[in-house]
Amino acid sequence: MKSRIISALETVDQGVFKYQKIMNALNAVDVSNDRDFQNLFNGFYKMRQRKEDYYKAYFKYLEENKNSPVKYADVLMHFYTKFNRVEASFASKLVATIDSSKPIIDKYVLKNLDMKLPYAYDSSRISKIIAIYSTVEMKMLELCQSPVGQETIALFDLKFPQNTISSMKKLDFVLWKIR
């Protein structure tokens, strides 16, 4: 496992740089209007192929809520109500940008946690996704405290000694890279 962690850490340099830039800019700019922030965010989180009104609404919501805690379920439901889309991953990315101690749901992290999202046709998809998010949060917190998690965080800190990244995000970087 250690070799997989080290291998993953060898490929995250640009991502760490971009992430820190996003987090430093979050409270320094109006993210609803700052195109540089939006382009950096979209590129980092691979947020593509959405209509312009989606991007506007997403960054407006982020700007309006960046200084207060948000709940994953509320963010998920906000975009579902507004666009009739279940945006499990992008909702988690917004939440984790506001509170870096929160996890991100994406296919690689879910795969590494031996989980997956329900199918699009599942009639209780939204409630299942909210439950999955809670489980991911619990598993990630447990991983942060585990020997493997502690070793991963320590190796991350050795590679990036001046970082101010949360333990949750450090593990997210590694899980995202271990495919």
What's the chain's average pLDDT?
A: 92
Residues 67, 27: contact at Cβ < 8 Å? yes
Number of H helices, E strands in the chain: 10, 0
The whole-number pLDDT of residue 174 equals 87
The whole-number pLDDT of residue 1 equals 63
Does residue 83 surpass a pLDDT of 90?
yes
pLDDT, greater one: 12 or 66 = 66
Residue 105's pLDDT band, with cuts at 50, 70 and 90, is: very high
From the CA atom positions of the chain, what is the Rg in Å?
Answer: 16
Give 114-153 pLDDT, tens digit per residue.
999 999 999 999 999 999 999 999 999 999 999 999 999 9
pLDDT, greater one: 11 or 94 = 94
Residues 22, 41: contact at Cβ < 8 Å? yes
Angle among Cα 144, 148, 153 to the nearest 5 degrees reads 55
Give 1-57 pLDDT, tens digit per residue.
677 777 777 878 888 999 999 999 999 999 999 999 999 999 999 888 888 999 999
The whole-number pLDDT of residue 140 equals 94
pLDDT cut 70: percent of the chain above it:
99
Give 152-176 pLDDT, tens digit per residue.
999 999 999 989 999 999 999 888 8
